[in-house]
Structure 1
Amino acid sequence: MTKEVNLSSRSLKRDEMIKYAYELFYKNGFHATGVDAIIQGTGISKRTLYKHFASKEGLILASIDYYHQTMYTVIFNYLQKYDSKKPVEKALKIFDFLSMHVDAGKQYGCFAMNAKNEYANKAMEIETACDAYVQALQELIERYLKEGNLEDSKSLSMQVMMLFEGAIIRSKGLGNSHPIKLAKAAAELICNQ
């Protein structure tokens, strides 16, 4: 019983560090956020941090995984609740989801894209983790496009993702959702040809 409590306690500490680091990384960036800020904010010792993560990059990878699991689930559930007989419309609701978040003031961009940009050509594991998130979203879109019987749904889903990623970057830079609405209109055009 004591061993289970210790494992549970360690798991809770690990989760707490990941969530706190995720918030700091998202708000301040990865290079601008030092391990000391995470330690100070969580009250966990440096020794404890490094017992759970071999390096800051290990903590970043865990944060990307946390984002991947959490955000994918939220997006999937958002798209699933949309009641439409047209799967293509359901796929393109991903732009509405993004607009809703940007309009609510969540303008930090995509956590995975931010990490990939900061670690481009510097940390292959981080880039791979970021690519896995984008790939999962693309496959979700592709699934809906296939259900809509669109030809070459693989290529179309890649194009939709490119528009989605571009919309994230532009909306972050402009601080509004207008680029997202434009990207959705372009996605509708390519999907309805």
Structure 2
Amino acid sequence: MKNNSESAAKSLKREEMVKFAFDTFYKNGFHATGVDTVMEGTGISKRTLYKHFGSKEGLILATIDYYRTNMLEIILGYINSNPNAQPVDKMLRIFDFLIEKAEEGHYNGCFVMNAKTEYTNKGTEIEASCDQYTAGIQQLIEATLKEGNILDYNELAVQIMMLFEGAIIRSKVTRSANTMRLAKNAARMLCEYK
């Protein structure tokens, strides 16, 4: 029994560290946040942090995994919330998700895109983990378009992904949900063209 409760406590502490690091990295950036900040915020020692993650990069990978797992599930649930929607309308809801987040005041961009930008040519594992996330979003778009029997759905998914990522980046500058609305309209026109 003791091992199970110790294991649960360690898992809970690890999860607490990941969530705190996630929030801090998202707010301040990856390079601007040192492990000391995470240690202070969670009350853990450097030894414990390195025992769980091995390095700051290991902690960053854990936060990316946390984001990827949660966000893909949230987005999938969001676009499938209306079971009667046509596939193209379901796919376009990915932009509604962005609009909703922007209207709530979330202008920090995409956590994974931020990590990819900061670690380009500096962290192979971090870049690969980020690429997994964006590939997952693109596969979700592809699958939804394929369901609608859209010709060239693979090519269209890449174009929509460019609009999706561009809208996120642009909204960081404009601090406006209008960027997402424009991207959604452009995605709709692309779908109608196909």
- The equivalent residue for 2:117 is 117
CA distance in 2, matches of 1:118, 1:158: 23
Which structure 1 residue ranges, 5 or more long, are not aligned?
Answer: none
Which structure 2 residue ranges, 5 or more long, are not aligned?
Answer: none
- Does the CA contact (< 8 Å) of 1:84 and 1:90 recur in 2? no
Letter in 2 for 1:42: T
List, as ranges, runs of 4+ consecutive aligned residues in structure 1 with deviation greater than 4 Å. Answer: none
CA distance in 2, matches of 1:85, 1:28: 38
Letter in 1 for 2:151: E
CA distance in 2, matches of 1:130, 1:81: 26
CA distance in 2, matches of 1:54, 1:85: 46
Q: Percent identity?
A: 55
- The equivalent residue for 2:90 is 90
TM-score (ref. length: structure 2): 0.98
State the Cα RMSD in Å: 0.8
CA distance in 1, matches of 2:56, 2:109: 21
- The equivalent residue for 1:140 is 140
Tell me the matched-pair count. 193
CA distance in 2, matches of 1:92, 1:99: 11
Letter in 1 for 2:149: N
Specify whether residues 100 and 85 from structure 1 end up closer, same or farther in structure 2 by C-alpha distance, changes over 3 A only.
Answer: closer
**Shift of residue 84, structure 1, vs aligned partner:** 3.5
Letter in 2 for 1:136: G
